[in-house]
Structure 1
Amino acid sequence: MTATTPELTTDHTRATADEAHSHGLVTGSEAPEASRAARTTSFDVADFPEITGSEEEWRFSAVDHLAPLLADRAADGHLTWSTDGTDLPDGVTLRQVDAEAARAASVRAPGDRASAIAVARSGGAVEIAVAANTAVAEPVEITLSGDGQDVRGHLLVTVGTSAEATLIIDRTGTATYSEFISVDLADNAQLNLVLLQSWSDDAVHAGEVVARLGRDARLRGTVVSLGGKVVRLNTSAALSAPGGDVELYGLYYSDAGQHLEHQLFVDHAAPNCRSRVTYKGALQGTDARSVWIGDVLIRKEAEGTDTYELNRNLVLTPGARADSVPNLEIETGEIEGAGHASATGRFDDEQLFYLKARGIPEDVARRLVVRGFFAELIQQIGVPAVESRLEAAIEAELEVTGQ
């Protein structure tokens, strides 16, 4: 579904096991030409042709702005890493890994040209590892900052068997940055991964995050995109063993001239797994743009799957555009349930009327509506300090146009 005006549009599909068996394939209104799983993955940049913008996975993207990150040339530098001022907790290590070992340790090869170039030109990777049977009580927060024009990054996140941790990665600065992040969760591991895009207004960022979950592993991933002129994040999670559980949350706020894009792929490749995807965005200002594409594949061996994806967009001013495309592929009828929902619209006039009728000024009422729109999602992050920062950041966004 694509919404180019602030009018409310929705697309909602819910498939039970019987319905999936009879219909075979349930998709959004703009189904891809082929299965999402059929796209190329490779460490060889030559396997990804030059991008024109007409390709299925790039047709909504700001290709002109991303052009420097699609050119296979030497990196200008690396972002500077810093922790939150404390030493890493026991059981958590951070180290450099050479290029060959980094490729071998990645859960899979890159799935687009930008991330393949990032790996090829990064000269190796940084690995953050949580040892098996380690429960890390406090969040581990790392800030990446820089201002280079061709900055490449490769990051490995590994969580050992029965380990638990929260990892926060915050990006700041004015860099033109591409990255590839591999996340590997061993059996019974749990990870709360929070990725913050706090870039300056002129930054350009193209990233790919790929995760693989072992038996009974749990991943909660949250993406927050507030900064940057152009941000394009491609996130995928492979449920490769029984009992896996993944929750993917996203929050974005696009201002005038800002392009924020999020593509997701949840690959149910094992039985009795669960996934939930919830992304919400607000847009304000002329040429504010957001793109959300959510692909879910339930393979024939993934019996007992329970999956649902949701995208909501709130258009605050004229001239903004939100594209929302949910896609669902089902190859087996033996599932618990699968579905998706998508909606884009303006303020709810009934909510505004209700608040104004109780003596609340319209500008205050509008703020309350936006806060309420994001509140439940922010609370899912599970890190109070980050939640407070986001609430303050949204309040600052509202100040821009006096909402």
Structure 2
Amino acid sequence: MTATETTPAHLATEDRFVPIQTRSERPTSFDPADFGTPTGREVNWRLSDLKRLAPLLVDEETETGAEPAIEYGLAELEAAGLLVESTGHDAAPRGEVFRPEDVVSAIAWKRCQNALHIRLPEGQVQEQPVIARLHGTGADRHGNAHIVVEAMPGSVGTIVLHHSGSARYAQNLEIIVREGARLTLVSVQDWQDDAVHASAHQAVVGDGAYLKHMVVSFGGGVVRVNPSMRLAGHRAEGEMFGLSFSDSGQHIESQVFMFHEGVETRGDVLYKGALQGEGARSVWIGDVLIGQDATGTDSYEKNQNLVLTDGARADSIPNLEIKTGDIAGAGHASATGRFDDEQLFYLQSRGIEEEEARRLVVIGFLMEIVQKIGVPEIEERLAEAIEEELRRGAGLAPASKAGA
């Protein structure tokens, strides 16, 4: 595999545009030129904030000799012996799974010469979660990255990628969970308000292996994290969880894809979001594909959004594609709404003030995801972040209707 291998990336002519509707048919390419500049009509860009993402759509060298856009805190990885040298685009296993699906990920592939390779050794059980800290050094700084997380056969562990500071940052994350391995991967977006972050996560799960993938987004001006998981092995299992809290002017987006390819695979997708403030925006698109050979599959996806104020908007689009009739079960659900008046009335009838009642409802709604992380340090930080978000919005009137 080389970076020059390409597949035509869109169907467009001067007088005709044919959008690609099915996620499984989305073309890929390692060459950014094959994609062109998004217009906003493309199915994978039509709900995105292209204006603020514009710096990440340009294929050009970043300034040499300047302070790096991202400072890496890898002390925990080094101490645990989990870092592996990865030099050049052809350094295995880079590219074993990852295929850029848009211009941003193709640019990140091209412009990032050396990958950050994290490997859980075969048969090793990592007792404690390991955190990689990625800190942006400035909103005017532009960075590209390719990260490989590889769980070797029989390994067990939890890797956390914690993003903070500010930058214009394009990131590819390639996740390989080999036979019998059990991996938890948590990506936390705790950026400052002026950060712009676009990330493509692509994972494959082997025979009898398990992957818990979590995306938690609180900070940042625009945060677009698009994860996909391919359950390729026999009895492979995958869970994809997401949590977001969008404030005024924030755009938080996830386009999620789970592909059941192997026999008797099991998958669960649950994303929750809260929104408050004028112009707060969240976008969730969930695609589940059960392949023609994926007999005995059990799959479910759900997205829930809680709109706390007027002026906020949540887009939620679940899709389910089934190519075999021999499955254990499959379904999807989506709900977007304001506070439940009955819940508020119940709490207030017990002597709880309205502001405190609203706080309890939001915390109860979001903590279902937080408690699935299993990393005390991250769970405590997120609980604090939820409280901070609610204090910031204190005193705002309840929304009169759900987001569009």
Q: Which residue of 1 aligns with 2:334?
A: 342
Tell me the residue number matched to 2:37.
50
Note if 1:155 corresponds to 2:147: yes
Question: CA 1:264/1:86 → structure 2, altered by over 3 Å: closer, same or farther?
Answer: closer
Write the distance in 2 (CA, Å) between the matches of 1:221 and 1:119. 22
Report the TM-score when normalising by structure 2: 0.89
Q: 2:115 aligned with 1:128, yes or no?
A: no
Structure 2 segments unaligned to the other structure (5+ residues): 1-18, 396-404
Give the root-mean-square deviation of aligned CA atoms.
1.5
Q: Deviations over 1:80-118 (max 9, x none)?
A: 11036685225x224343222267544131111101100
CA distance in 2, matches of 1:87, 1:129: 11
Matched, 1:207 2:194: no
Rounded to whole Å, the distance in 2 between the matches of 1:60 and 1:103 is 33
Q: Gapped runs of 5+ residues in structure 1?
A: 1-31
Q: Deviations over 1:217-249 (max 9, x none)?
A: 100011100000001111000011111100011
Partners in 2 of 1:378 and 1:104 — Cα distance?
Answer: 31
Question: Bigger relative contact order, structure 1 or 2, given CA contacts below 8 A and separation 6+?
Answer: 1
Cα pair 1:95 1:128 within 8 Å, conserved: no
Deviations 1:21-71 (A, max 9, x none): xxxxxxxxxxx8532111011212122121111100100000111011011
Give the one of 371, 385, 388 matched to 2:380.
Answer: 388
Partner of 1:39: 26
Match of 1:316 in 2: 308
How far apart in 2 are the matches of 1:365 and 1:70? 43
Name 2:109's counterpart in structure 1.
119
**CA pair 357-205 structure 1, distance change in 2 beyond 3 A:** same
Q: Take 2:186 and 2:94, find their aligned partners in 1: how far apart are those partners? A: 25
Q: Distance in 2 between matches of 1:203 and 1:373?
A: 27
Secondary structure of the corresponding residue to residue 383 of structure 2: helix
> % of aligned pairs identical?
47
Aligned partner of residue 68 in structure 1, secondary structure: helix
Equivalent residue of 1:100, what SS? coil
1:302 alignment partner in structure 2? 294
CA contact (8 A) 2:21 2:43 kept: no
Gap change, CA 1:80 and 1:96, over 3 Å in 2: farther
Q: For structure 1, which segment, 193-202 or 96-105, has the greater mean C-alpha deviation from structure 2 after superposition?
A: 96-105
Alignment match of 1:88 (pick from 65, 70, 79): 79
Q: Which of 49, 72, 92 is the equivalent residue of 1:62?
A: 49
2:165 corresponds in structure 1 to 173
**Aligned pair partner of 2:178 in 180, 186, 194:** 186
State the match for 2:263 in structure 1: 271
Q: Is the 8 A contact 2:125 2:157 kept in 1?
A: yes
The answer for the alignment partner of 1:357 in structure 2 is 349
How far apart are 1:215 and its partner, in Å?
Answer: 0.3
Residue deviations 1:177-223 (CA, integer Å, cap 9, x gap): 00111001110111110100011110000100000011011000111
Separation in 2, partners of 1:152, 1:186: 26
